[in-house]
Amino acid sequence: MTMNIETKQQHVEATMRLAPVIPVVIIEDAKHAVPMARALVAGGIPAIEVTLRTPAALDAIRAIAAEVEGAVVGVGTVLTASDLQAAERAGARFAVSPGMSPKLLAAADDSTLPLLPGIATASEAMALFERGYRHLKFFPAVPAGGAKLLGAWASPLPQIRFCPTGGISLATAKDFLSLSNVLCVGGSWLTPGDKLNAGDWAGIEQLAREAAALRA
C-alpha cells in the first residue's frame, strides 16, 4: 500500500528531527554495518543514510534494519526506480537522492519509501514544492552556495525545510543548523573510512556524540 505524499513528508520530517546530523555512509564491507550502526545509535545519532555507492550497501541496510535496535536506516544515492525498490526490500525506512528526475519522482509516488530529494537551485525547490515536497536535501551544499544561499531562501521559500549535505564538517555544521529553514545536516565525517576499516567503533561513537551535541 502506498502512502500519500503528505504522509511520506511527515515521515521525512520526523527522521530529519531525530538528530542534528544524518551520517552519510559509504560502506565497503557489510560486516562493518551492524557495529557501526550500534556505535552511531549509542552516540545519539539514530538516522543513518547508507549510500548505494558500493556492492555492500544493500546487505548493510538489510543487516542494520534487522539487527540494530533504535536505528532508522535509510538509503542514499538513489538514482532509479530499481534503486528504490531494492532498498525498500532491504528494509530501508527512507531514501535520499542527489537530485531529481521525472522517472525517479514517479517511482517515489508508487513507493512506500519516503523520499528526500536533492536540489541545488530555487527553481528545483519550487518544482518539488509544487509536487508536495516540503523537505529537501540541498546538495552539494558548500559548492552550491553554502549557508548564505540557504539563508537567502528562508524568506521567499518559507514552507520548505532543508538537509544540506556536501562539504560540511563538524566545524561548519552550526553555520547551517543556525538557519531557520534547516532541520539537520548530512555529513560523511562521522564514519570515516579509516575508522570503519580499523573497526574503531568507540571512535565512531565519539564522533556521533560530538555531532549529537550540535543541537545543545
Task: Count the alpha carbons within 13 Å of 133 in the hemisphere toward its beta carbon.
Answer: 22
Q: Which of 8, 49, 195, 205 is catalytic?
A: 49
Q: What is the DSSP letter of 119?
A: E
Cell numbers placing 39: 556505535
Q: Which amino acid is at 170?
A: L
User: What is the C-alpha separation between 115 and 135, in angstroms, rounded?
Assistant: 9
Is 148 a residue of the active site? Answer: no
**Residue 187: which of 215, 202, 167, 206 has the closest Cα?**
167
The string of DSSP codes covering 1-68 is -PPPHHHHHHHHHHHHTS-SEEEEE--S-GGGHHHHHHHHHHTT--EEEEETTSTTHHHHHHHHHHH-
Strands 115-116 and 94-96: parallel
Q: Which of 8, 137, 195, 205 is catalytic?
A: 137
Cell numbers placing 25: 555512509
Is 8 a residue of the active site? Answer: no
Sign, Cα dihedral of 117, 119, 123, 126: positive
Catalytic residues: 49, 137
